[in-house]
Amino acid sequence: MRIVTAEEVRQKLSYDRLVAKLPPRLRADAQVPARSQITIPRDDEDDATLLLMPAWSPSVGGLKIVHVTPGNATRHKPSVNASYLLFDGTTHEHLALIDGGELTARRTAAVAAIAAGKLAAPDATRLLLIGSGRIASELPLAYRAVRPITHVSVHSPTRANAEALVQKLRDNGFNAAVCEDLAHEAGRADIIACATLSHTPIVQGDWLTGAHHLALIGGFTPAMREADDGAIRKGYVFVDTLTALTEAGDVAMLTKNDIKGVLSDLCDPAFTPPSGLTVFKSVGEASQDLACASLL
């Protein structure tokens, strides 16, 4: 069995490659059982979560094991730790053990970029990034593969984290700065992307106009919220998978009829975007990991 390191994942799965090669794989049929979500109680911090995410096709399958530990932020360690096991679809022989953190970060950012490639304004240059963690740090790089992003404003509850990410983005050629006024920067942005574990809505519907694309990437439980009801009700809402309606607090008030499309629709070359405010809510699905792992 091959061991695939984080560095190998980064080298082989550039965002240019991911946004070009993933869409047909994301439209392919795969068996995706409901993921297991197990709460790990913690006495002195927010509870941790263990996720088991299997998926398979006739040729290949995989299982991702994920720990989400919000308390790691105070330890200066990643909140998400994961490993991905790839296996043969016929014999079920174990083919590779892949660094799941890097695979998750890149597929999450790539999916957001694929959605923005269909839903954001073609000339979008300004990104408001809410969050400063592992996933947030990848989003500007991914968005740059589909839109001419030059300016990034970073908002984080911990200013030092925002400043560190701003420096990293500057090193990668972005005109980046710490966000000093969230409402003001939201008004200037073309894309607003949230990658947090917030339980309280951050983005307000009053900030948004028809020129915005709002991406809600972080929340994956009914208790998590990154935008208020006004923001959700105001736009054309797309989700990566319809299970978001039961898993994600941001879209819990919606029904299937309120959803304008899912990720596979956005991967259709014939897709025509709506005119106005668009919202993309992702919770992640095992088929996305399988698509990235098989491409790798």
pLDDT at 221: 87
Residue 252 has pLDDT above 90, yes or no: yes
pLDDT at 73 over 90: no
Residues in the chain: 296
| Phi, psi dihedral angles at 190 (to 5 degrees) | -90, -40
Report the SS3 class of residue 294. helix
User: What fold does the segment set 105-289 form as a domain?
Assistant: Rossmann fold (3.40.50)
For position 79, what pLDDT does the model report? 82
- Looking at the chain, the domain(s) classified CATH 3.30.1780.10 span 2-103
For residues 6-22, average pLDDT: 97
pLDDT at residue 220, rounded to an integer: 86
- What confidence tens digit (pLDDT) does each residue in 192-221 have? 999 998 999 999 999 999 899 999 999 988
Query: pLDDT grade, residue 23 (50/70/90)?
Result: very high
Residue ranges of the chain assigned to CATH 3.40.50.720 = 105-289
pLDDT of residue 135: 92
Confidence of residue 180 (pLDDT cuts 50, 70, 90): very high
Look at the pTM and tell me if it is higher than 0.85. Answer: yes
Among the residue ranges 24-28, 60-64, 74-78, 224-228, the one predicted with the least confidence is: 74-78
Residue 255 buriedness (CB in 10 A; 0-12 / 13-18 / 19+): exposed
Percent of the chain predicted with pLDDT > 90? 88
CA dist 114 → 50, 86, 108, 286 (Å): 27, 24, 10, 17
Rounded percentage of the chain residues whose pLDDT exceeds 70: 100
**For the domain 2-103, what is the CATH code?**
3.30.1780.10
Q: Which two tokens stand for residue 80?
A: 């998400």
Predicted confidence at residue 295, as pLDDT, reads 94
DSSP per-residue string spanning 150-211: -EEEEE-SSHHHHHHHHHHHHHTT-EEEE-S-HHHHHHH-SEEEE----SS--B-GGG--TT
